[in-house]
A = this chain, B = another copy of it.
Amino acid sequence: MENCCEGAGNFFGRQKNTNIRVSLPAVCFVWQIAMIILFGVFIRYNEESDVRKWIEFKHSHNITSDIENDFYFRYPSFQDVHVMIFVGFGFLMTFLKRYSFSGVGFNFLIAAFGLQWALLMQGWFHSLDPNTGKIYIGVENLINADFCVAGSLIAYGALLGKVSPVQLMVVTLFGVTLFAVEEYIILDLLHCRDAGGSMVIHAFGGYYGLAISWVLYRPNLHQSKRLNGSVYHSDVFAMIGTLFLWMFWPSFNSAITAHGDGQHRAVINTYLALASSVLTAVAISSMSQKRGKLDMVHIQNATLAGGVAMGTAAEFMITPYGSLIVGFCCGIISTFGYVFVTPFLEKYFKIQDTCGIHNLHAVPGMLGGFVGAIVAAAASVEVYGREGLIETFAFEGDFATRSVLTQGGYQAAGTCVAITFGLVGGALVGFILKFPIWGDPADDNCYDDEVYWEVPEDEETIPPVLEYNNHMIHKHQDISESNFSVEQS
């Protein structure tokens, strides 16, 4: 069977070497060993996860109850985010008929690597203790690491089916690195607020993936057209991903917001925006098809646009109806994107975007950044209270005198920074991925698990007609015996 595939490769187009038996283990081992060494040098428990320090911290801060440990404020949200990263993104990418193993499996691999690298990169930029030279980690760092990985997983959505796992490891290595730098510029230097990551995660990740996909454009991708689509049950699998993303998005946008009202409000806003975008996504999907039939691609993706677009503004006082309006608009825009923009981008911009991340992440993320800018600029003492304004926008230290209007301007600037980092970084990484050493598949071999996985022989792959042909049963004793019994059972 393998020979047949290689034969097909020869027959249809250029020969590609997809053997990753050396490169993939090498990358995994070298990078994991590097992680161990760097963790040994830099990473330590913080004062809430270190037994000695926590006891001292409680004494020095007059804390009487362990429930004040940040763990109890954030751990439920962390686990929801964790589910979104591994099951949400993973299963959303199982929708292709013969690429479900790679969709969920490579997502698993690169997320597990990326979160380690993210702990280091984000630690160096955000929480390196200048005295000890160490990074002290707790549950909030774990959440941020998951967030950081999300940027690269979004990029994987555009590349799905067209790259090798080794290339994905490279995408993640650079993706996490770029993320940490743009996040440092946006959150620390520009002092933007972006708790749910409309800018730093979605806009960045979306444009990063699109830029890579643009560089890796395959003019003969139509040779794999037969596999670039779903089957009935693969679409149902993808709905697992959609629903876990949809349900837990309120946790995503509230996971690192301020304790108390901040987390509470971010949940309400995200919950409402998501509900609203379901209805408009369904409406546009139905309008765009003959006889009003719904398209699973829209339901699986555009229903989530409201959550993406609330990533920045969720912690602000955007009001409940404001959240509904954001979801309303983004559900429409995202579904229109799937109907019109994705084919347009492929035809005229040579961007092949397998999952349509342009419509689910890039554009709603960008819009979310601007929504955040507007809501920040419109903030007032009357609505937030003086103390609340300081708490919500962290107008402290160097930024104590910043006005909300200025803040709005910086939020908008931050969105542009994220997009720029995505586009430029993605183009550079794309060129690195063009070296012919990464084991990527040939044009006629895309979207096919067979290239990188031992795929089980399905009963369907053995022609059922065999069992009516005694002669053939005797010739292929093993296979037909197996098949015969299954068919009868």
CB-nearest residue of chain B to A387:
B55
23 A–B contact pairs at CB < 8 A? A19-B292, A21-B290, A21-B291, A28-B286, A32-B283, A39-B324, A50-B261, A51-B261, A52-B383, A55-B391, A69-B259, A86-B246, A100-B232, A226-B486, A227-B489, A229-B456, A229-B457, A231-B458, A450-B489, A460-B464, A464-B464, A465-B465, A465-B468
Per assembly, the copies of the chain total 3
Determine whether A395 belongs to the interface, using a CB cutoff of 8 Å to chain B: no
Contacts of A1 in B (CB 8 A): 488-489
Q: Which of A467-486 contact B (CB under 8 A)?
A: 467-468, 481-483, 485-486
Determine whether A138 belongs to the interface, using a CB cutoff of 8 Å to chain B: yes
Give complex CA distance A287, B439 in Å. Answer: 15
- Which of B2, B45, B275 contacts A317, CB < 8 Å? B45
Cβ–Cβ contact B67 & A276, under 8 A = no
Identify the 10 closest CB pairs spanning chains A and B, nearest first: A21-B292, A66-B260, A226-B482, A52-B385, A112-B278, A51-B388, A54-B261, A28-B283, A66-B259, A39-B321
Determine whether A133 belongs to the interface, using a CB cutoff of 8 Å to chain B: no
Determine whether A400 belongs to the interface, using a CB cutoff of 8 Å to chain B: no
With contacts A236-B94, A486-B227 taken as known, whether A73 is within 8 angstroms of B72 at the C-beta atoms is yes
Cβ–Cβ contact A50 & B265, under 8 A = yes
Cβ–Cβ contact A388 & B55, under 8 A = yes
Looking at A173-181, A266-274, A342-350, A367-375, the stretch in contact with chain B turns out to be: A266-274
Contact with B along A317-339 (1 / 0, CB 8 A): 10111001100100000000000
CB-nearest residue of chain B to A332:
B29
